[in-house]
Amino acid sequence: MRSSKHYQVLIVGGGAAGITVAASLRRRATQPLDIAIIEPAEEHYYQPAFTLVGAGVYPAARTQRKVGSLIPPGVGWIRASAATFDPVNNSITLSCGDTVSYDYLIVCPGVRLDWDKITGLAATLGRNGVCSNYSPSCMTYTWDCIQALKSGSRVVFTQPPLPFKCPGAPQKIAYLTADYLRRRGILQDCDLNFYIHAPVIFSVPYFARELVNVAARYGIKVHYQHNLVAVDGSSKSATFEAVGGEHKGQRFVIPFDMLHVCPPQSPPDEIKTSPLANAAGWVEVNQNSMQHVRYPNVFALGDVCSTTNSKTAAAVRKQAPVVVRNVLRLIAGESIEADYDGYASCPLTTAYGKVILAEFIYGGKVTPSLPLNPSRESRLGWWIKVVGLPLMYWHYMLKGYEWFPGHNKAFIGDIAESS
Ligand SMILES: Cc1cc2nc3c(=O)[nH]c(=O)nc-3n(C[C@H](O)[C@H](O)[C@H](O)COP(=O)(O)OP(=O)(O)OC[C@H]3O[C@@H](n4cnc5c(N)ncnc54)[C@H](O)[C@@H]3O)c2cc1C
């Protein structure tokens, strides 16, 4: 027997975005709402700290909590995956075959990590010096690999084609590894290489300039327009293909002692094949209101949506109140607002104890929250990353509070002109 249930608000995905919007809806709604979250996983992760775990400065256990402990009181938890979407009939089929219908749908199942797109990677991940902070099950192995480095070691970091979540993460671990080797006095004896698919190190030019200097300071050789295509764990070698420049189309086999991989990423299959998707497979929403462009009772936020902001939890923090206010406005028969400006933040760990707190909005405009030079490596930024943001995530964001420092839009003009 297949069952069918109806909710006023149905949320797909109980990650950073799903829990935040559910909690915020509960807090803001003046009438009790019938809300449920569809989420198959038992564990929820604070992913922004994965870099710190890989660098040996944050316990892995502190990134993880039970989903059940985070679902807000009064919100239903459907322990299944959303399998197919029928937005014309306001209904979703679950992995178990049941259907669920809704008045309003909020879609936030994140991105898929495409480990299998790189030949040989899945078979050797977590062994043979092949590590990734993108995998909760092997991020502590990154730290094992870093500690095992010695004079003469060859270290390779990779960055896939955009979009992928946290566009700073592949280079953050490169700088922390280099700083670790520097503190041990063997940095100059090691060979560090960073292979990037894009022709630039970071998509916001203001910060890219600083980051090029940081890489140079450590002697990290940056190879633009190179894509990882294969990994051979037994011979400890990685194959890259040049995707631009004079060697375009050529393949290079690079030996390594440690290889840190950021996997290519894509929309989940069930989204890609649904009527909600745009041509690239992402949920097609208005970039300011987060409302679906074809189905007005559908919203999306977080990593799965088509907006061009950096895919970060920081973006979710700013998108969630817009989605929540708009759903409540539609319920009240009011018109919606278009308040999301593309804000994202990436605390770039340039050394142990130092962070460049990159904050920006659509168009790569720099919008710092603090009255400090945003390009400067700071100890305060490190404290914010290691202590402040995790506290904010667990105790404010996931509880539906929206008390956060606003980003400084008045700064935009100054920085954009000087950059
Ligand atoms: C190594 C690393 C470093 C990062 N660093 C930072 C940082 O410094 N700052 C920052 O702001 N962000 C950072 N991020 C990015 C940040 O964690 C993500 O952008 C954020 O978690 C996105 O939230 P989300 O809810 O869209 O996706 P997620 O938090 O990934 O949650 C998606 C949820 O949807 C569920 N789901 C998937 N498919 C389905 C389905 N079919 N049906 C129902 N549920 C489904 C999943 O189980 C999951 O629980 C980092 C991420 C990584 C991996």
* DSSP letter string, 193-220: EEEESSSSSSSSHHHHHHHHHHHHHHTP
Atom from ligand 1 closest to the CA of residue 311: 19
Distance 79 CA to ligand 1 centre (A): 18
Please name every residue paired with 314 in a beta bridge, in sequence order, or none if there are none.
none
Residue 402's pLDDT band (cuts 50, 70, 90): confident
Is residue 166 among the annotated active site residues? yes
Q: Mean pLDDT, the chain, as a whole number?
A: 95
Q: What is the pLDDT of residue 418?
A: 41
Residue pLDDT, tens place only, 194-238: 999 999 999 999 999 999 999 999 999 999 999 999 999 999 999
Contact criterion met (CB below 8 Å) for 144 and 54: no
Ligand 1: which of 166, 307, 311, 323 to mutate, most ligand atoms within 8 Å of CB?
Answer: 166
313-331 and 16-28 helices cross at what angle (nearest 10)? 40
* Protein residue whose Cα sits closest to atom 37 of ligand 1: 109
Distance 253 CA to ligand 1 centre (A): 32
Atom from ligand 1 closest to the CA of residue 301: 26
Q: Which is catalytic among the residues 108, 131, 166, 305?
A: 166
Q: What percent of the chain has a predicted confidence (pLDDT) above 90?
A: 94
Q: What is the pLDDT of residue 371?
A: 86
Residue pLDDT, tens place only, 367-385: 999 888 999 999 999 999 9
**From residue 281, how far is each of 266, 270, 306, 391 by CA, in Å?**
8, 9, 8, 33
Distance 188 CA to ligand 1 centre (A): 36
The whole-model pTM stands at 0.96
| 64-71: average pLDDT | 98
CA distance 289 to 32: 24
**Residues in the ligand 1 pocket, defined by CB under 6 Å:** 12-18, 38-41, 47-48, 50-51, 81-82, 108-110, 133-134, 165-166, 169, 268, 270, 302-304, 311-314, 316, 345-347
* Protein residue whose Cα sits closest to atom 29 of ligand 1: 15
* DSSP letter string, 279-311: TTSSB-B-TTT-BBSS-TTEEE-GGGB---S--
Residue pLDDT, tens place only, 239-256: 999 999 999 999 999 999
Ligand 1: which of 78, 112, 165 to mutate, most ligand atoms within 8 Å of CB?
Answer: 165
CA distance 385 to 121: 30
- Higher pLDDT residue, 2 or 102? 102
| 27-54: average pLDDT | 97
* Protein residue whose Cα sits closest to atom 31 of ligand 1: 15
CB atoms within 10 A of CB 160: 23
Q: What is the pLDDT of residue 249?
A: 97
Atom from ligand 1 closest to the CA of residue 47: 17
Distance 234 CA to ligand 1 centre (A): 32
pLDDT beyond 50 at 419: no
Distance 367 CA to ligand 1 centre (A): 23
Is residue 108 among the annotated active site residues? no
Ligand 1: which of 20, 39, 47, 173 to mutate, most ligand atoms within 8 Å of CB?
Answer: 47
CA distance 272 to 279: 9
Distance 337 CA to ligand 1 centre (A): 25
Residue 411's pLDDT band (cuts 50, 70, 90): low
Residue 409's pLDDT band (cuts 50, 70, 90): low
CATH, domain 113-265, list 3.40.50.10280, 3.40.50.360, 3.50.50.60, 3.40.50.970 = 3.50.50.60
Q: Which is catalytic among the residues 138, 190, 305, 346?
A: 346
Contact criterion met (CB below 8 Å) for 389 and 342: no
Q: What is the pLDDT of residue 406?
A: 64
Nearest to 9 by CA among 31, 37, 40, 39: 37
Fold that domain 4-111+267-339 belongs to in CATH? FAD/NAD(P)-binding domain (3.50.50)
| CATH 3.50.50.60-classified regions of the chain | 4-111+267-339, 113-265
Distance 44 CA to ligand 1 centre (A): 9
Atom from ligand 1 closest to the CA of residue 38: 43
* Protein residue whose Cα sits closest to atom 39 of ligand 1: 109
Q: What is the pLDDT of residue 84?
A: 98
* Protein residue whose Cα sits closest to atom 28 of ligand 1: 15
Nearest to 160 by CA among 115, 204, 128, 205: 115
Alpha helices per DSSP H over 101-204 = 121-124, 139-148, 169-183
Distance 245 CA to ligand 1 centre (A): 33
Q: What is the pLDDT of residue 4?
A: 80
Residue pLDDT, tens place only, 294-321: 999 999 999 999 999 999 999 999 999 9
pLDDT beyond 80 at 413: no
Q: What is the pLDDT of residue 417?
A: 42
